[in-house]
Protein backbone atom coordinates (compact mmCIF):
# COMPACT_ATOMS: atom_id res chain seq x y z
CA UNK A 1 0.00 0.00 0.00
CA UNK A 2 2.73 2.58 0.79
CA UNK A 3 4.28 1.90 -2.63
CA UNK A 4 1.04 2.78 -4.41
CA UNK A 5 0.67 5.91 -2.30
CA UNK A 6 4.20 6.98 -3.20
CA UNK A 7 3.57 6.35 -6.89
CA UNK A 8 0.33 8.33 -6.62
CA UNK A 9 2.31 11.38 -5.47
CA UNK A 10 4.77 10.96 -8.34
CA UNK A 11 1.96 10.78 -10.89
CA UNK A 12 0.08 13.72 -9.33
CA UNK A 13 3.15 15.91 -9.68
CA UNK A 14 3.62 14.71 -13.24
CA UNK A 15 0.00 15.53 -14.11
CA UNK A 16 0.32 18.97 -12.48
CA UNK A 17 3.30 19.70 -14.73
CA UNK A 18 1.43 18.34 -17.79
CA UNK A 19 -2.12 19.72 -17.73
CA UNK A 20 -4.63 18.56 -20.38
CA UNK A 21 -4.04 20.04 -23.83
CA UNK A 22 -6.55 22.33 -25.48
CA UNK A 23 -7.23 19.77 -28.24
CA UNK A 24 -9.79 18.08 -26.02
CA UNK A 25 -7.74 14.97 -25.31
CA UNK A 26 -8.31 14.43 -21.58
CA UNK A 27 -6.96 10.87 -21.37
CA UNK A 28 -5.01 10.40 -18.16
CA UNK A 29 -1.34 9.49 -18.46
CA UNK A 30 -0.78 6.14 -16.75
CA UNK A 31 2.39 4.67 -15.23
CA UNK A 32 2.37 2.02 -18.00
CA UNK A 33 2.51 4.85 -20.56
CA UNK A 34 5.78 6.13 -19.09
CA UNK A 35 7.62 3.08 -17.82
CA UNK A 36 8.51 0.23 -20.17
CA UNK A 37 8.65 -2.59 -17.58
CA UNK A 38 7.27 -3.37 -14.13
CA UNK A 39 8.23 -6.18 -11.77
CA UNK A 40 6.83 -7.16 -8.41
CA UNK A 41 6.93 -9.97 -5.89
CA UNK A 42 4.38 -10.85 -3.24
CA UNK A 43 1.77 -8.10 -2.95
CA UNK A 44 4.02 -6.06 -5.25
CA UNK A 45 3.36 -8.65 -7.94
CA UNK A 46 -0.36 -7.99 -7.68
CA UNK A 47 0.30 -4.25 -7.89
CA UNK A 48 2.39 -4.83 -11.03
CA UNK A 49 -0.54 -6.70 -12.60
CA UNK A 50 -3.03 -3.96 -11.70
CA UNK A 51 -0.86 -1.14 -13.04
CA UNK A 52 0.83 -2.88 -15.97
CA UNK A 53 -1.41 -5.65 -17.25
CA UNK A 54 -4.79 -4.14 -16.38
CA UNK A 55 -3.48 -0.61 -17.13
CA UNK A 56 -5.24 0.89 -14.14
CA UNK A 57 -4.67 4.46 -12.91
CA UNK A 58 -2.78 4.55 -9.62
CA UNK A 59 -5.72 5.77 -7.53
CA UNK A 60 -8.00 3.09 -8.99
CA UNK A 61 -5.40 0.42 -8.28
CA UNK A 62 -5.00 1.74 -4.73
CA UNK A 63 -8.75 1.63 -4.15
CA UNK A 64 -8.97 -1.92 -5.50
CA UNK A 65 -6.02 -3.04 -3.38
CA UNK A 66 -7.48 -1.49 -0.20
CA UNK A 67 -10.81 -3.21 -0.75
CA UNK A 68 -8.99 -6.50 -1.36
CA UNK A 69 -7.01 -6.26 1.88
CA UNK A 70 -10.15 -5.42 3.85
CA UNK A 71 -11.67 -8.75 2.80
CA UNK A 72 -8.59 -10.92 3.42
CA UNK A 73 -7.42 -12.65 6.63
CA UNK A 74 -4.86 -10.94 8.85
CA UNK A 75 -3.80 -13.89 11.00
CA UNK A 76 -2.06 -17.09 9.82
CA UNK A 77 -4.19 -20.11 8.97
CA UNK A 78 -4.21 -22.92 11.52
CA UNK A 79 -5.05 -25.77 9.12
CA UNK A 80 -5.08 -26.73 5.45
CA UNK A 81 -8.85 -26.36 5.46
CA UNK A 82 -8.53 -22.75 6.65
CA UNK A 83 -5.93 -22.08 3.94
CA UNK A 84 -8.34 -23.39 1.31
CA UNK A 85 -11.10 -21.17 2.68
CA UNK A 86 -8.77 -18.17 2.56
CA UNK A 87 -7.86 -19.00 -1.05
CA UNK A 88 -11.54 -19.15 -2.03
CA UNK A 89 -12.11 -15.72 -0.51
CA UNK A 90 -9.01 -14.32 -2.24
CA UNK A 91 -10.10 -15.72 -5.61
CA UNK A 92 -13.58 -14.21 -5.22
CA UNK A 93 -12.15 -10.77 -4.51
CA UNK A 94 -9.68 -10.97 -7.40
CA UNK A 95 -12.46 -12.06 -9.77
CA UNK A 96 -14.47 -9.05 -8.66
CA UNK A 97 -11.58 -6.67 -9.45
CA UNK A 98 -10.88 -8.30 -12.80
CA UNK A 99 -14.54 -8.30 -13.79
CA UNK A 100 -14.80 -4.58 -13.00
CA UNK A 101 -11.86 -3.99 -15.38
CA UNK A 102 -13.43 -6.11 -18.12
CA UNK A 103 -11.10 -9.12 -17.60
CA UNK A 104 -12.49 -12.65 -17.64
CA UNK A 105 -11.08 -15.53 -15.54
CA UNK A 106 -9.81 -17.14 -18.76
CA UNK A 107 -7.82 -14.16 -20.05
CA UNK A 108 -4.17 -15.15 -20.31
CA UNK A 109 -1.30 -13.36 -18.62
CA UNK A 110 1.02 -13.72 -21.62
CA UNK A 111 0.25 -12.61 -25.14
CA UNK A 112 0.83 -15.07 -27.98
CA UNK A 113 2.83 -12.73 -30.16
CA UNK A 114 6.22 -11.10 -29.86
CA UNK A 115 4.59 -7.83 -30.91
CA UNK A 116 3.16 -7.44 -27.44
CA UNK A 117 1.92 -4.29 -25.72
CA UNK A 118 4.55 -1.62 -25.10
CA UNK A 119 4.53 -2.20 -21.33
CA UNK A 120 5.86 -5.51 -20.00
CA UNK A 121 5.01 -7.03 -16.64
CA UNK A 122 6.99 -9.62 -14.68
CA UNK A 123 5.60 -11.31 -11.58
CA UNK A 124 8.23 -12.92 -9.36
CA UNK A 125 7.10 -16.01 -7.43
CA UNK A 126 8.75 -19.02 -5.78
CA UNK A 127 8.66 -22.61 -7.01
CA UNK A 128 8.27 -25.09 -4.16
CA UNK A 129 10.87 -27.45 -5.62
CA UNK A 130 13.40 -24.68 -6.35
CA UNK A 131 13.22 -21.72 -3.97
CA UNK A 132 16.81 -20.70 -4.75
CA UNK A 133 15.76 -19.08 -8.01
CA UNK A 134 12.80 -16.86 -8.87
CA UNK A 135 10.00 -18.22 -11.02
CA UNK A 136 8.87 -15.58 -13.50
CA UNK A 137 5.34 -15.14 -14.80
CA UNK A 138 5.62 -12.79 -17.76
CA UNK A 139 3.14 -10.85 -19.86
CA UNK A 140 5.30 -11.35 -22.96
CA UNK A 141 7.27 -14.10 -24.74
CA UNK A 142 10.93 -14.35 -23.78
CA UNK A 143 14.05 -16.30 -24.64
CA UNK A 144 15.32 -18.89 -22.21
CA UNK A 145 13.45 -21.10 -19.74
CA UNK A 146 9.75 -21.02 -20.55
CA UNK A 147 7.15 -20.73 -17.82
CA UNK A 148 3.85 -22.55 -17.68
CA UNK A 149 0.88 -20.81 -19.33
CA UNK A 150 -1.43 -19.14 -16.85
CA UNK A 151 -4.32 -16.73 -16.66
CA UNK A 152 -4.15 -13.27 -15.13
CA UNK A 153 -6.20 -14.62 -12.23
CA UNK A 154 -3.75 -17.47 -11.64
CA UNK A 155 -0.78 -15.08 -11.77
CA UNK A 156 -2.41 -12.86 -9.14
CA UNK A 157 -3.17 -15.89 -6.94
CA UNK A 158 0.41 -17.18 -7.25
CA UNK A 159 2.13 -13.97 -6.22
CA UNK A 160 -0.17 -13.70 -3.17
CA UNK A 161 0.25 -17.36 -2.10
CA UNK A 162 1.91 -16.78 1.27
CA UNK A 163 2.09 -20.34 2.73
CA UNK A 164 1.06 -19.09 6.16
CA UNK A 165 -2.29 -17.95 4.73
CA UNK A 166 -2.94 -19.80 1.46
CA UNK A 167 -2.20 -23.12 -0.26
CA UNK A 168 0.23 -23.22 -3.22
CA UNK A 169 -0.99 -22.52 -6.76
CA UNK A 170 -0.41 -25.20 -9.43
CA UNK A 171 0.07 -24.25 -13.07
CA UNK A 172 0.63 -26.27 -16.23
CA UNK A 173 0.47 -29.97 -17.04
CA UNK A 174 2.81 -32.93 -17.18
CA UNK A 175 6.49 -31.88 -17.31
CA UNK A 176 5.47 -28.20 -17.30
CA UNK A 177 3.51 -28.51 -14.08
CA UNK A 178 4.79 -26.20 -11.33
CA UNK A 179 3.65 -25.47 -7.80
CA UNK A 180 4.10 -21.83 -6.81
CA UNK A 181 4.07 -19.80 -3.62
CA UNK A 182 4.88 -16.22 -2.73
CA UNK A 183 8.49 -15.32 -3.60
CA UNK A 184 10.97 -15.82 -0.72
CA UNK A 185 12.55 -12.90 1.12
CA UNK A 186 15.64 -13.08 -1.13
CA UNK A 187 13.54 -11.64 -3.97
CA UNK A 188 11.50 -9.17 -1.93
CA UNK A 189 13.16 -6.36 -3.86
CA UNK A 190 13.35 -7.67 -7.44
CA UNK A 191 14.86 -4.54 -9.03
CA UNK A 192 18.10 -6.30 -10.01
CA UNK A 193 16.09 -9.17 -11.45
CA UNK A 194 14.24 -6.69 -13.66
CA UNK A 195 17.52 -5.23 -14.92
CA UNK A 196 18.72 -8.69 -15.91
CA UNK A 197 15.38 -9.42 -17.57
CA UNK A 198 15.57 -6.14 -19.50
CA UNK A 199 18.96 -7.08 -20.91
CA UNK A 200 17.54 -10.40 -22.14
CA UNK A 201 14.62 -8.71 -23.89
CA UNK A 202 16.66 -5.89 -25.37
CA UNK A 203 20.38 -5.67 -26.07
CA UNK A 204 23.13 -4.59 -23.74
CA UNK A 205 23.19 -1.20 -25.48
CA UNK A 206 19.54 -0.47 -24.62
CA UNK A 207 19.44 2.88 -22.80
CA UNK A 208 17.87 3.25 -19.36
CA UNK A 209 16.75 6.71 -18.25
CA UNK A 210 15.00 5.90 -14.99
CA UNK A 211 14.86 3.07 -12.45
CA UNK A 212 12.18 3.70 -9.82
CA UNK A 213 12.01 1.34 -6.84
CA UNK A 214 9.17 1.68 -4.34
CA UNK A 215 9.37 0.02 -0.94
CA UNK A 216 6.80 -0.75 1.73
CA UNK A 217 8.73 0.32 4.79
CA UNK A 218 12.31 0.94 5.78
CA UNK A 219 14.11 -1.87 7.60
CA UNK A 220 15.53 -1.35 11.05
CA UNK A 221 18.71 -2.70 12.65
CA UNK A 222 18.17 -6.32 13.65
CA UNK A 223 20.06 -8.83 15.74
CA UNK A 224 20.74 -12.33 14.40
CA UNK A 225 17.99 -13.69 16.65
CA UNK A 226 15.49 -11.10 15.42
CA UNK A 227 16.34 -11.70 11.76
CA UNK A 228 16.11 -15.49 11.85
CA UNK A 229 13.53 -15.87 14.59
CA UNK A 230 11.30 -12.86 14.09
CA UNK A 231 8.41 -12.25 11.72
CA UNK A 232 9.16 -12.90 8.06
CA UNK A 233 8.40 -9.27 7.18
CA UNK A 234 11.59 -8.28 9.02
CA UNK A 235 13.60 -10.55 6.72
CA UNK A 236 11.88 -9.04 3.70
CA UNK A 237 12.89 -5.56 4.85
CA UNK A 238 16.52 -6.52 5.36
CA UNK A 239 16.81 -8.27 1.99
CA UNK A 240 15.15 -5.33 0.21
CA UNK A 241 17.60 -2.90 1.77
CA UNK A 242 20.53 -5.10 0.76
CA UNK A 243 19.49 -4.94 -2.89
CA UNK A 244 19.01 -1.18 -2.62
CA UNK A 245 22.49 -0.62 -1.20
CA UNK A 246 23.98 -2.76 -3.98
CA UNK A 247 22.27 -0.73 -6.69
CA UNK A 248 23.05 2.55 -4.97
CA UNK A 249 26.76 1.76 -4.93
CA UNK A 250 26.60 1.01 -8.67
CA UNK A 251 24.51 3.97 -9.75
CA UNK A 252 24.93 6.73 -7.17
CA UNK A 253 26.47 9.13 -9.70
CA UNK A 254 24.15 8.38 -12.61
CA UNK A 255 20.97 10.05 -11.34
CA UNK A 256 18.82 7.39 -12.95
CA UNK A 257 18.14 5.25 -9.85
CA UNK A 258 15.70 6.30 -7.12
CA UNK A 259 14.20 4.32 -4.28
CA UNK A 260 11.53 5.54 -1.90
CA UNK A 261 10.67 3.56 1.20
CA UNK A 262 8.87 5.23 4.14
CA UNK A 263 10.29 4.85 7.60
CA UNK A 264 9.08 2.04 9.82
CA UNK A 265 7.01 -1.07 9.20
CA UNK A 266 3.46 -1.19 7.83
CA UNK A 267 0.94 -3.89 8.73
CA UNK A 268 -1.60 -5.35 6.30
CA UNK A 269 -4.36 -4.64 8.82
CA UNK A 270 -3.30 -1.03 9.44
CA UNK A 271 -5.88 1.66 8.65
CA UNK A 272 -5.19 3.02 5.13
CA UNK A 273 -5.76 6.56 6.42
CA UNK A 274 -3.00 6.09 8.99
CA UNK A 275 -0.67 4.70 6.33
CA UNK A 276 -1.42 7.66 4.05
CA UNK A 277 -0.64 10.08 6.89
CA UNK A 278 2.73 8.41 7.48
CA UNK A 279 3.54 8.45 3.76
CA UNK A 280 2.58 12.12 3.53
CA UNK A 281 4.93 12.88 6.40
CA UNK A 282 7.71 11.01 4.62
CA UNK A 283 7.11 12.98 1.42
CA UNK A 284 7.26 16.31 3.26
CA UNK A 285 10.95 15.74 3.95
CA UNK A 286 12.82 18.32 1.83
CA UNK A 287 15.33 15.82 0.41
CA UNK A 288 12.63 13.26 -0.38
CA UNK A 289 10.45 15.85 -2.07
CA UNK A 290 13.41 17.03 -4.13
CA UNK A 291 14.10 13.45 -5.22
CA UNK A 292 10.46 13.00 -6.25
CA UNK A 293 10.75 16.13 -8.38
CA UNK A 294 13.91 14.69 -9.97
CA UNK A 295 11.97 11.53 -10.86
CA UNK A 296 9.19 13.59 -12.43
CA UNK A 297 11.69 15.54 -14.53
CA UNK A 298 13.30 12.30 -15.72
CA UNK A 299 9.87 10.94 -16.74
CA UNK A 300 9.82 13.52 -19.53
CA UNK A 301 9.98 11.72 -22.89
CA UNK A 302 12.53 14.15 -24.27
CA UNK A 303 14.72 14.30 -21.15
CA UNK A 304 18.25 13.85 -22.56
CA UNK A 305 20.48 14.54 -19.59
CA UNK A 306 20.99 11.00 -18.38
CA UNK A 307 20.86 7.57 -19.92
CA UNK A 308 23.04 4.54 -19.45
CA UNK A 309 23.29 1.24 -21.29
CA UNK A 310 21.66 -1.69 -19.49
CA UNK A 311 24.79 -3.77 -20.13
CA UNK A 312 26.90 -1.27 -18.22
CA UNK A 313 24.51 -1.34 -15.27
CA UNK A 314 24.51 -5.12 -15.03
CA UNK A 315 28.28 -5.40 -15.54
CA UNK A 316 29.31 -3.27 -12.58
CA UNK A 317 29.36 -5.79 -9.77
CA UNK A 318 29.78 -5.08 -6.09
CA UNK A 319 32.54 -7.34 -4.83
CA UNK A 320 32.51 -9.25 -1.55
CA UNK A 321 35.03 -9.69 1.23
CA UNK A 322 35.35 -6.02 2.17
CA UNK A 323 36.62 -4.86 -1.21
CA UNK A 324 35.82 -1.22 -1.97
CA UNK A 325 32.99 -0.57 -4.43
CA UNK A 326 33.94 0.25 -7.97
CA UNK A 327 33.54 3.79 -9.21
CA UNK A 328 30.03 4.56 -10.33
CA UNK A 329 29.50 4.69 -14.08
CA UNK A 330 28.38 8.02 -15.50
CA UNK A 331 25.60 8.45 -18.08
CA UNK A 332 26.23 9.52 -21.66
CA UNK A 333 29.90 8.54 -21.81
CA UNK A 334 31.26 9.89 -25.09
CA UNK A 335 34.65 10.40 -26.71
CA UNK A 336 37.97 9.03 -25.49
CA UNK A 337 37.92 6.49 -28.32
CA UNK A 338 41.63 7.05 -28.93
CA UNK A 339 42.43 6.15 -25.32
CA UNK A 340 40.11 3.13 -25.34
CA UNK A 341 41.60 1.91 -28.63
CA UNK A 342 45.10 1.96 -27.13
CA UNK A 343 43.89 0.08 -24.05
CA UNK A 344 42.18 -2.55 -26.20
CA UNK A 345 45.26 -3.01 -28.34
CA UNK A 346 47.57 -3.31 -25.34
CA UNK A 347 45.46 -5.57 -23.13
CA UNK A 348 43.28 -7.52 -25.56
CA UNK A 349 45.57 -7.82 -28.57
CA UNK A 350 47.82 -10.83 -29.20
CA UNK A 351 48.43 -13.87 -27.05
CA UNK A 352 49.15 -13.72 -23.34
CA UNK A 353 51.01 -16.31 -21.28
CA UNK A 354 51.43 -16.46 -17.50
CA UNK A 355 55.22 -16.23 -17.90
CA UNK A 356 54.96 -12.75 -19.35
CA UNK A 357 55.12 -9.66 -17.22
CA UNK A 358 51.67 -8.18 -16.58
CA UNK A 359 50.45 -5.68 -19.11
CA UNK A 360 50.21 -2.33 -17.38
CA UNK A 361 48.69 0.93 -18.56
CA UNK A 362 48.85 4.21 -16.67
CA UNK A 363 46.31 6.95 -17.41
CA UNK A 364 47.67 10.38 -16.53
CA UNK A 365 45.97 13.74 -16.64
CA UNK A 366 44.64 16.60 -14.57
CA UNK A 367 41.83 16.04 -12.09
CA UNK A 368 38.41 15.71 -13.67
CA UNK A 369 39.71 14.87 -17.13
CA UNK A 370 37.98 11.45 -17.18
CA UNK A 371 40.75 9.03 -16.18
CA UNK A 372 38.56 6.98 -13.83
CA UNK A 373 35.68 6.72 -16.29
CA UNK A 374 38.03 5.65 -19.11
CA UNK A 375 39.46 2.95 -16.86
CA UNK A 376 36.00 1.80 -15.76
CA UNK A 377 34.68 1.81 -19.32
CA UNK A 378 37.56 -0.41 -20.44
CA UNK A 379 37.13 -2.63 -17.36
CA UNK A 380 33.53 -3.33 -18.40
CA UNK A 381 34.65 -4.21 -21.93
CA UNK A 382 37.42 -6.43 -20.55
CA UNK A 383 35.04 -8.44 -18.38
CA UNK A 384 32.76 -9.04 -21.35
CA UNK A 385 35.60 -10.00 -23.67
CA UNK A 386 37.76 -12.24 -21.46
CA UNK A 387 36.28 -15.43 -20.05
CA UNK A 388 36.42 -15.70 -16.23
CA UNK A 389 38.04 -12.27 -15.99
CA UNK A 390 37.68 -10.25 -12.79
CA UNK A 391 38.42 -6.56 -12.41
CA UNK A 392 39.44 -5.06 -9.08
CA UNK A 393 40.01 -1.48 -7.98
CA UNK A 394 42.58 -0.86 -5.24
CA UNK A 395 43.80 2.23 -3.41
CA UNK A 396 47.37 2.92 -4.66
CA UNK A 397 48.00 6.18 -2.82
CA UNK A 398 50.51 4.40 -0.62
CA UNK A 399 52.37 1.08 -0.61
CA UNK A 400 50.58 0.05 2.58
CA UNK A 401 47.15 0.75 1.09
CA UNK A 402 48.08 -1.05 -2.10
CA UNK A 403 49.28 -4.13 -0.24
CA UNK A 404 46.14 -4.17 1.88
CA UNK A 405 43.99 -3.96 -1.24
CA UNK A 406 45.85 -6.83 -2.88
CA UNK A 407 45.55 -8.85 0.30
CA UNK A 408 41.78 -8.32 0.28
CA UNK A 409 41.70 -9.60 -3.31
CA UNK A 410 43.49 -12.78 -2.24
CA UNK A 411 40.93 -13.27 0.52
CA UNK A 412 38.07 -12.73 -1.93
CA UNK A 413 39.39 -15.39 -4.30
CA UNK A 414 40.12 -17.99 -1.64
CA UNK A 415 38.02 -17.26 1.42
CA UNK A 416 39.25 -18.91 4.57
CA UNK A 417 42.96 -18.51 3.77
CA UNK A 418 45.07 -17.53 6.70
CA UNK A 419 46.59 -14.08 7.04
CA UNK A 420 50.11 -15.58 6.85
CA UNK A 421 49.30 -17.50 3.65
CA UNK A 422 48.01 -14.42 1.84
CA UNK A 423 50.98 -12.38 3.09
CA UNK A 424 53.38 -14.95 1.65
CA UNK A 425 51.71 -14.60 -1.75
CA UNK A 426 52.21 -10.84 -1.68
CA UNK A 427 55.84 -11.26 -0.66
CA UNK A 428 56.45 -13.42 -3.72
CA UNK A 429 55.13 -10.83 -6.14
CA UNK A 430 57.74 -9.24 -8.44
CA UNK A 431 59.04 -5.72 -8.09
CA UNK A 432 56.53 -4.27 -10.55
CA UNK A 433 54.13 -3.91 -7.67
Q: What does the pLDDT read at residue 302?
A: 55
Within a domain: 16 = yes
3-state SS string for the chain: CHHHHHHHHHHHHHHHHCCCCCCCCCCCCCHHHHCCEEEEECHHHHHHHHHHHCCCCHHHHHHHHHHHHHHCCCCCCCCHHHHHHHHHHHHHHHHHHHHHCCCCCCCECCCCCCCCCCCEEEEEEEECCEEEEEEEEECCCCCCCCCCCCEHHHHHHHHCCCCCCCCCEEECCHHHCEEEEECCHHHCCCHHHHHHHHHHHCCCCCEECCEEEECCCCCCCCCHHHHHHCCHHHHHHHHHHHHHHHHHHHHCCCCCEEEECCCCCCCCCCCHHHHHHHHHHHHCCHHHHHHHHHHHHHCCCCCCCCCEEHHHHHHCCCCCCCCCCCCCCCCCCCCCHHHHHHHHHHHHCCCCCCCCCCCCCCCCCCCCCCHHHHHHHHHHHHHHHCCCCCCCCCCCCCHHHHHHHHHHHHHHHCCCCCHHHHHHHHHCCCCCC
List CB contacts of 180: < 8 A, sequence separation 6 or more.
125, 126, 127, 128, 135, 158, 161, 168, 169, 170, 171
| Model pLDDT, residue 35 | 93
| Residue 283, pLDDT score | 92
Asked, for residue 330, whether it belongs to a domain, the answer is no
Report the C-alpha gap between 59 and 349 in whole angstroms: 57
Q: What is the pLDDT of residue 162?
A: 92
Are 90 and 196 in a shared domain? yes
Which pLDDT does position 249 carry in this prediction?
76
363 and 235 within one domain: no
- Same domain (yes/no): 174, 42: yes
Alpha helices in 75-163 (DSSP H): 80-100, 152-159
In a domain, 391, yes or no: yes
- Structural domain for 425, as ranges: 337-349+357-431
Can you give the pTM of this predicted structure? 0.72
Statement to judge: residues 310 and 379 lie in one domain: no
Q: Is residue 329 part of a domain?
A: no
pLDDT of residue 269: 77
289 with 395, same domain? Answer: no
Residue 66 within any structural domain of the chain: yes
Does residue 110 belong to any structural domain of this protein?
A: yes
297, 363: one domain: no
Clarify whether residues 344 and 298 are in a common domain.
Answer: no
In a domain, 323, yes or no: no
Q: What local confidence, expressed as pLDDT, does residue 413 receive?
A: 63
Q: Are residues 285 and 376 in the same domain?
A: no
310 and 342: one domain? no
pLDDT, block means (10 residues), the chain with 433 residues: 92 89 75 93 94 95 93 90 95 95 93 67 93 91 83 95 94 91 87 90 85 74 41 58 80 85 77 90 91 90 69 62 60 77 82 64 85 83 74 78 76 54 56 47
One domain for residues 8 and 72: yes
| pLDDT at site 420 | 52
Q: DSSP letter string over 184-199?
A: PGGGSS-HHHHHHHHH
CATH number, domain at 143?
3.40.1090.10
Looking at the fold, whether 287 and 213 belong to one and the same domain comes out as yes
- Same structural domain, 62 and 127: yes
Q: Is residue 178 part of a domain?
A: yes
Tally of structural domains, the chain? 2
Amino acid sequence: MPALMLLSEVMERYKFDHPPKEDGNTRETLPCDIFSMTIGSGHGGLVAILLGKLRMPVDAALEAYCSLLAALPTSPAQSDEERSQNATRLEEELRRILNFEGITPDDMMQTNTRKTESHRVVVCTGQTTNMSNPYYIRSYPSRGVQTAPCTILQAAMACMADPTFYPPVTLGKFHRRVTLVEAPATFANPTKLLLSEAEVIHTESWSVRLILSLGCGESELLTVEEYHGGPRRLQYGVESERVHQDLLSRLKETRIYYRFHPRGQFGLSEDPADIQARVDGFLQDVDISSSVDAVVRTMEKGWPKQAIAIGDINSVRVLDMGLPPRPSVVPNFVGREDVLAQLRSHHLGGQFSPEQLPRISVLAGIGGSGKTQCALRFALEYERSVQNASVYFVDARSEAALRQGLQNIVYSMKSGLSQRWSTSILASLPDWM
